[in-house]
A and B are shown apart, each in its own frame.
Chain A
Amino acid sequence: ELKVEQNPLFLSMQEGKNYTIYCNYSTTSDRLYWYRQDPGKSLESLFVLLSNGAVKQEGRLMASLDTKARLSTLHITAAVHDLSATYFCAVDSRSGGGADGLTFGKGTHLIIQP
């Protein structure tokens, strides 16, 4: 059974600081996704990572994927309050015999304080 673990689960940081959220998964992945969710809202797709060594950046967020280590990171640079949200990683592993849906981590609740 595919397991996806995120850490930390809770993160409080100050504006202007850098931090990294980690996502480990237990089996072969086809694709790895990062999503943002604001309270009571739906999921906003941030990044889709397809291959080993993939790196994508959008504004203050950068995501990377190491398929050999089965690890993805979401790095936040010079955090601002607007980035406060819950961030989820999710893994698509259907070609490896996994379910046809995504397997999500528990999420990282990020609070950025002025």
Chain B
Amino acid sequence: NAGVMQNPRHLVRRRGQEARLRCSPMKGHSHVYWYRQLPEEGLKFMVYLQKENIIDESGMPKERFSAEFPKEGPSILRIQQVVRGDSAAYFCASSPSEVIEAFFGQGTRLTVV
């Protein structure tokens, strides 16, 4: 059983471009969490999704950021019109239910130049 798969592992975008980060949860996991980690900081919760539903997006910036977890395919975190401050590592985690520990992917390191 493969772990949580994120791609790309590294992503470079120019200011103003769009960034799309993908997360394929572990098999049988229908709960996905996205976190952002700034350099030398802990992870900050962004959004929690179940299949086709956003459950909690309280940690996600209101503008430029969106997330989805369609019935088929990976979860996508989308950042429009990226700025330098968006440079960070973005981690997703998946679990089979909200009461079971989530497992983290390897992360996507976004660099905005």
Question: What residues make up the interface of A, taking CB atoms closer than 8 Å to B?
Answer: 4, 31, 33, 40-43, 45, 48, 88, 90, 94, 99-107
Question: What residues make up the interface of B, taking CB atoms closer than 8 Å to A?
Answer: 33, 35, 41-48, 55-56, 58-59, 91, 98, 101, 103-107, 109
Contact indicator B55/A104 (Cβ below 8 Å): no
Given A42-B106, A106-B41, residue A101 in contact with residue B35 (CB < 8 A): yes
A30 to nearest B CB, angstroms? 9
CA distance A106 to B105 in the complex (A): 19
Contact indicator B41/A48 (Cβ below 8 Å): no
CA distance A75 to B95 in the complex (A): 28
Contact indicator A100/B91 (Cβ below 8 Å): no
Determine the residue in chain B with the shortest Cβ distance to A48: B101
Given A99-B58, A99-B59, A100-B48, residue A42 in contact with residue B91 (CB < 8 A): yes
A97 to nearest B CB, angstroms? 11
Contact indicator A101/B33 (Cβ below 8 Å): yes
A63 to nearest B CB, angstroms? 14
CA distance A48 to B101 in the complex (A): 8
A64 to nearest B CB, angstroms? 18
CA distance A33 to B47 in the complex (A): 19
Determine the residue in chain B with the shortest Cβ distance to A105: B42
CA distance A105 to B44 in the complex (A): 9
Residues of A within 8 A of B56 (CB): 99-101
Contact indicator B98/A102 (Cβ below 8 Å): no
CA distance A15 to B48 in the complex (A): 40
Select one of A31, A42, A103 contacting B45, CB under 8 A: A103
CA distance A60 to B92 in the complex (A): 29
A4 to nearest B CB, angstroms? 8
Determine the residue in chain A with the shortest Cβ distance to B31: A100
Q: Could you list 19 further interchain pairs (A-B, Cβ under 8 angstroms) beyond the known A101-B46, A102-B43?
A: A42-B106, A43-B43, A43-B91, A45-B103, A88-B42, A99-B48, A99-B56, A99-B59, A100-B56, A100-B58, A100-B98, A101-B47, A101-B56, A101-B59, A102-B35, A104-B44, A105-B42, A106-B42, A107-B42
